[in-house]
Structure 1
Amino acid sequence: MQSQTLSDASKQAYMRGKRVLEINPRHPIIKELRERVVKDPEDASVKQTAHLMYQTALMESGFMLTDPKDFASRIYDSVKSSLDISPDAVVEEEEEVEEVEPEAEMKESAKDAEDSELKDEL
């Protein structure tokens, strides 16, 4: 059908299989999430975990995420939480270190080796 002269890609959408997201209510993660939602429906960490699982399931099913940066941010937040790192923790600045050219470094080490050999001979 795609090779026909007057084919229209939008009309061919009905031929593609529809993707279905299924949730296994017996899975331990789903059971735990449900219990936590029942205890505290406003718990932000439960909402974040559920959203992260939803985005992961979409990716796993072949869908493209509308905001991959949001997904990455949620992953980092989840890792921080599991490692008990403050959500407000910032990345430390890297110290500026003067780089020595490899050639100059090799000359220095060769000179040091010669000096030590001379001392041994004396």
Structure 2
Amino acid sequence: MSERILNHPVLGSLENTEEVSFTFNGQSFKGQKHESIAAALLANGVRTLRYHEENGTPRGIYCNIGHCFECRVNVNGKQGIRACLTPLQDGMVVESGNQLPTPVRDWSAEHA
């Protein structure tokens, strides 16, 4: 079920868009070529893009303009990609970040 807005009262209708396939956490989705990964995930009902590295709380899109880094995902094996700024391409493999093993060790305290 798509949650995509196809006809916007100000921006008009979505026309002449090329549909592409991509995966997120192993699940197949469709999106519009060159829209942001974040927009494609939202249109497919995905709200959680990653989990906080330390406490495991879900993270999604916050600012959607590239300032906050909350939408970091792994794309084609590359870590820390901002989903709100990265254009979707056919065949992309997108994965969420997960909680790191705890406790996160403070190496500086051990070597002080």
**If the TM-score is normalised by the length of the shorter chain, which range does it land in?**
under 0.3
- TM-score normalised to structure 2 length: 0.26
Q: Which has the higher strand share?
A: 2
- TM-score normalised to structure 1 length: 0.25
